[in-house]
Chain A
Amino acid sequence: MISALHAALPLKRLIRRSMSAGFTLLGITLVVFLATNALPGDVGRRILGPFADERAVAALNRELGTDRPLAEQYIRWLGRVLQGDLGESLARRQPVGEVLWPALLQSGRLALVILLISVPIGVGLGLAAALRRDSVLDYLFLIGTAVTTVLPEFATGILVILAFAIWIPLLPVSATAPPESTIGEQIRYLVLPSLPIALVLIGYLGRIMRASTIEILDAAFVRAAALRGIPSWLVLVRHVLPAALPPVIAVLANQLGYLLGGLVAIEVLFNYPGLGSLLLTAARQKDFPVLQAGALVIGLTYYLANTTGDWLFRRLDPRQQHRFAGS
């Protein structure tokens, strides 16, 4: 990361980053593979359960190829992946893509609704709190976000269901909209499951936005702009916002992988067939082709989000541009 930031040419930097990302992903698959296989028991046993006959387990392992040496299994898997084939799920016995893509799409939808709710509110509240620093509003903001960021999502999840689906039956309990529903209807189904995560994220983003805005407001170039008589709203839009946003973007970029693959508690509670619960089940069943593909997708998301984040970071922050131009 650090060396990449200091590289002079964007293209060269991109190539170097892609290569290192490639190696990182390869490393991830190896770690996931070894970790999955370090779990006791074998795949056939996990699928058929502890009380199945040993001979049936052996037959199933033979059929799945999970009786082969570990190195052979990994190399065979890697060979297929390099040709663009993610293999077959051991527990579901269908191509990994058919299992993974629907889950990823679901998780993507949920992440999008969460972002749509939390980014504008978080950024707006953080900005407002910074501009009214030390006011009642600011204190309320600080206390409120301190509370929401530590709320465990499964607890808030149950609470919002009870409040908005059972006591006041406004919204559906389960998050899965019927397949033929409109976009508006789909969003309606996703509001409740988004809320618990959005609350945490709003607090998180808001506090970062507040801190970074306060820092910028104190910076020399902002005070200089104000002194030059530029209207305060223009100072805000032109100078403060672009300079205050990069830390928020960096945090968001880091959260994206989590939003896609880490919302297990929410997915389980709202019965939403997303990536998180898919990977958890795959881990339990030692279904390594699914786990590997999931890890690759999440790793890739981290890489893309961070690369995009860095790019935005540099575009927005004049200090960063200056630094790169001068280096």
Chain B
Amino acid sequence: MEVHWGHHERVKLHPVVEHLLDEYRAGRLSRRDFLRRAAVFGTAPSVAAALLAACSGTTPSPTPTSGPVEQTAPTPTAEQAIPTMSSPSPQARAIPVLRAAILMPAGRIHPVTVADEGGLCVLGQVGEYLCWSDRDLMLRPMLAERWEGSADARVWTFSLRSGVRFHDGRPMTVRDVAATFQRLADPNVGSNALSAYRGILTPEGVQIVDERTIRFELERPFSNFPYLVSSDTYNAVIMPEDLGDNYENTFIGTGPFRLKEYQPRVKVVFVRNPDYWGRPAGPDEIELRFYEDESARLLAFQGREVDVIARVTSLGAESLASVPDAAFIDFSSATHLQVHMRTDMEPFADRRVRQALALCLDRVGVVEGILLGKGDLGNDHPFAPVYPSTDRSVPQRQQDLEKARRLLEEAGYGGLSVKLVSWRGIEIPDLAAVLQQNARQVGIQLELELTDAGTYYGKAVFGESPWLDSVLGITDYGHRGSPDTYLRASLRSDGVWNAAHFRNEQYDRLVDEYAAAVDLQRQRQIARQIQELLLEETPLIIPFFNRFITAVRKGLQGIEPTAIGHLRLAEAQMV
């Protein structure tokens, strides 16, 4: 199909996008889901919106490009491609310095090894990705202008933006991009992104097509691949080919800010990059102050030493609620806790015992009591409500003590006693305590053993980790833009984080089919089967998905956090 609009522009659509458009027309896709899915297949948001408008007969406002072009997806201009939430308001006041409290980076900040929220937040100010995964899981072009997947989702081609320069003045080339991904996928480099690329991308799979085009040939079909090279894989900031070890000396990147001053363990200050390829940053200067502790961040906000807190807990947000000039940015994420039950060991080898424990839990009480309402209910599978492919019509599991007792009886357990291990941090001790209380009501005695995080995760390999070896445990999973990692690593037979030791051939097959399914309707059908299978088998209890909360001073607009831990300040303005 070819869509004609504007004066003389013709756009040939990707077959997947064409199919999506049909689904939308048939009413099987919401507008938002269409936009998200079209973006994965490289259709710029503005174009996708124009397509929808064309469908409904209203006048589209397409991307202006000069001259007749024929392409698989149109080119957004720089202005449109910058991730924006709001356009500058005419009443906006200039911000000389914007101060934000972020988590203390755990150690040396280096794009290849960064593995913590503080570090990636700093990195995200100066570095940029091929595309940006926003808080609605929409992919927006950043250093790639467009991308396209093959029909089997095995080969992905990205066209790079031209006119992008690193902070030292050198132009960004296709070789820099290739080197970035080859480094991250190389098992001989201590790359933190390796676990994301495992089984999908090898250094050899990264190929230069021409000066502006790069191709990824994957080891297996993966229809959500663009998320893996987006900001979701926070290590994937595009870096110069000759990136050295001492990144902290330069904090080089292509982003809207560049380094002014770095004081380890104290703060980092960035100034506007005058040579930025996109719209220049709003604030003249941003100062990210490092804090270990939430109460210190809250007090600094109240004392007006910072105007943004990158992330606050539900409890922190509650305590700021009485501060008159505090406002919140609050959105759903896929961040969650998993309670795993060893499916290959007593007493949880019997599926009924696993179901019984899951039925004990008062989820609504957990979300209200522990998260103060700042969470979405979980249904014991990793399909968070935020994912477009999640089938939300699968019935929600609810507390049912009677049924739990009956299941235990059928399984031949009058009463039983199990050790629950985890670490002391975030909502884990609270969830463990509630589960302990709930379980007692049906005769399951849980003995809690909470250590520090390092002890719980141990060497993080089977046989040398309380996390992966325990009969019952709680593990914290950070946000991902697509559910694939959770589905594979923590539940597939060969999953490296499969703490439940879940082995189910049907499940494994479904997960492969899900990864290969390119259109959303198909993904959703498979998702439903996976959701139902996991509810029946219950290798995991997933009680909730956290909401991500950022605190800002009232009047500050345009700040864009992601559930991964980025905090985009380039568009910030004060109104």
Per the bound structure, the CA–CA distance linking A203 and B265 in Å amounts to: 32
Cβ contact of B266, chosen from A59, A269, A273, A285, cutoff 8 A: A273
Residue of A nearest to B293 (CB): A268
Return the CB mask of A277-308 against B: 1 if under 8 Å, else 0.
11001001111000000000000000000000
Contact B457 A45 (CB under 8 A): yes
Residue of B nearest to A274 (CB): B265
Per the bound structure, the CA–CA distance linking A172 and B299 in Å amounts to: 10
**Chain A interface size range:** 35 or more
Does B295 make an interface contact (CB < 8 A)? yes
Contact B266 A176 (CB under 8 A): yes
Q: Which residues of B contact A287 (CB under 8 A)?
A: 107
Contact B245 A47 (CB under 8 A): no
**Residue of A39, A42, A52, A287 ringed by the most chain B CB atoms within 10 A:** A52
Residue of A nearest to B489 (CB): A51
Q: Which residues of B contact A63 (CB under 8 A)?
A: 190
Stretch of B164-172, B223-231, B458-466, B538-546 on the interface side? B458-466
Does A184 make an interface contact (CB < 8 A)? no
Does A56 make an interface contact (CB < 8 A)? yes
Known A56-B195, A59-B187: A268·B296 in contact at CB below 8 Å = yes
Q: Which residues of A contact B455 (CB under 8 A)?
A: 39-41
Contact A50 B296 (CB under 8 A): no
Q: In chain A between 63 and 77, which residues have their CB closer than 8 angstroms to a CB of chain B?
A: 63
Per the bound structure, the CA–CA distance linking A172 and B304 in Å amounts to: 9
Return the CB mask of A50-62 against B: 1 if under 8 Å, else 0.
1111111101100
Q: Which residues of A contact B305 (CB under 8 A)?
A: 172-174
Contact A53 B457 (CB under 8 A): no
Contact B296 A56 (CB under 8 A): no
Contact A273 B303 (CB under 8 A): no
Per the bound structure, the CA–CA distance linking A281 and B454 in Å amounts to: 12
Q: Which residues of A contact B299 (CB under 8 A)?
A: 158, 161-162, 165-166, 173, 269
Does A323 make an interface contact (CB < 8 A)? no
Q: In chain A between 82 and 111, which residues have their CB closer than 8 angstroms to a CB of chain B?
A: 89, 91-94, 99, 103
Cβ contact of B458, chosen from A40, A165, A176, A278, cutoff 8 A: A40
Does A48 make an interface contact (CB < 8 A)? yes
Contact B192 A56 (CB under 8 A): yes
Does A18 make an interface contact (CB < 8 A)? no
Q: In chain B between 421 and 471, which residues have their CB closer than 8 angstroms to a CB of chain A?
A: 452-455, 457-461, 465, 467
Contact B300 A47 (CB under 8 A): no
Per the bound structure, the CA–CA distance linking A14 and B299 in Å amounts to: 48
- Going nearest first, the 4 A-B pairs with the smallest beta carbon separation are A60-B190, A91-B107, A173-B303, A50-B457
Seen from chain B, the residues whose Cβ lies within 8 Å of a Cβ on chain A are: 104, 106-108, 110, 113, 115-116, 187-192, 194-195, 198, 245, 264-266, 289-293, 295-296, 299-300, 302-303, 305, 452-455, 457-461, 465, 467, 489, 496-497
Seen from chain A, the residues whose Cβ lies within 8 Å of a Cβ on chain B are: 39-42, 44-57, 59-60, 63, 89, 91-94, 99, 103, 158, 161-162, 165-166, 169, 172-174, 176, 268-271, 273, 277-278, 281, 284-287
